[in-house]
A = this chain, B = another copy of it.
Amino acid sequence: VLRATLELAAEAGPGGLRMDAIAKRAGVSKETLYRWWRSKTEVVLEALAQRSLATIPAPDTGSLRGDLSAFLHATVASSDRTTRRLLRALAAEAASDPGFADLVTRQFIATRRASLGELLQRGVERDEISSRQAAIAIDLIYGSLWYRLIFQNAPLDTSWAKDITDTLAPPT
């Protein structure tokens, strides 16, 4: 179901997604689909969350700098055209509807923040960063990612990954 959802989003765009099309492509009934997810938004959020977990590993390289660099480069590599379009569509609706913003936060953003948070927490335990700095780093990193996605004034590329790593975990 989750793979079918991303395939259809790639073909029809975020606006063209329909629950019955997802059911058909995944080979399940609409009833089954609605038993597990209440809306197409919830399917999309879970598909994106699962895809991120699968494509963005958080390796334990032994240093904050190594971990952050690997994580941010994998984040860039994982953000293909379909993902970026889906994220923009989610941001558009979140910006105009606080209830939708809360849903996106709980079912997608929280999973991404948790992955990055684990990596930063290892840095806190190694005394490379304070816990207050680790907390704000999550906002700085994901903030700049969404900012570039929404306003498209700079690309989400390896320079982004490298510059953030150098700023938040400078070479010693």
Listed in ascending order, the chain A residues whose CB lies under 8 Å from chain B are 88-89, 91-96, 98, 101-102, 104-105, 109, 132-133, 135-137, 139-154, 160, 163-164, 166-168
Report the Cα distance A50→B70, complex, angstroms.
41
30 CB-based A-B contacts, threshold 8 Å: A88-B96, A89-B96, A91-B91, A91-B95, A92-B95, A94-B151, A95-B95, A95-B149, A95-B150, A98-B152, A101-B152, A105-B151, A109-B153, A133-B163, A135-B163, A136-B160, A136-B164, A136-B167, A139-B147, A139-B154, A140-B140, A140-B141, A140-B144, A140-B164, A140-B167, A142-B143, A143-B145, A143-B146, A143-B147, A146-B147
Q: Which 8 A/B pairs are nearest by Cβ-Cβ distance?
A: A143-B144, A143-B143, A143-B147, A92-B95, A136-B163, A92-B96, A91-B95, A140-B140
The smallest C-beta distance from A164 to any residue of chain B, in angstroms, reads 6
- By secondary structure, the A interface counts as helix
Report the Cα distance A146→B104, complex, angstroms.
15
Asked if residues B91 and A150 are in contact (CB atoms below 8 Å), the reply is yes
Which of chain B's residues have a CB closer than 8 A to the CB of A160?
A: 136, 139
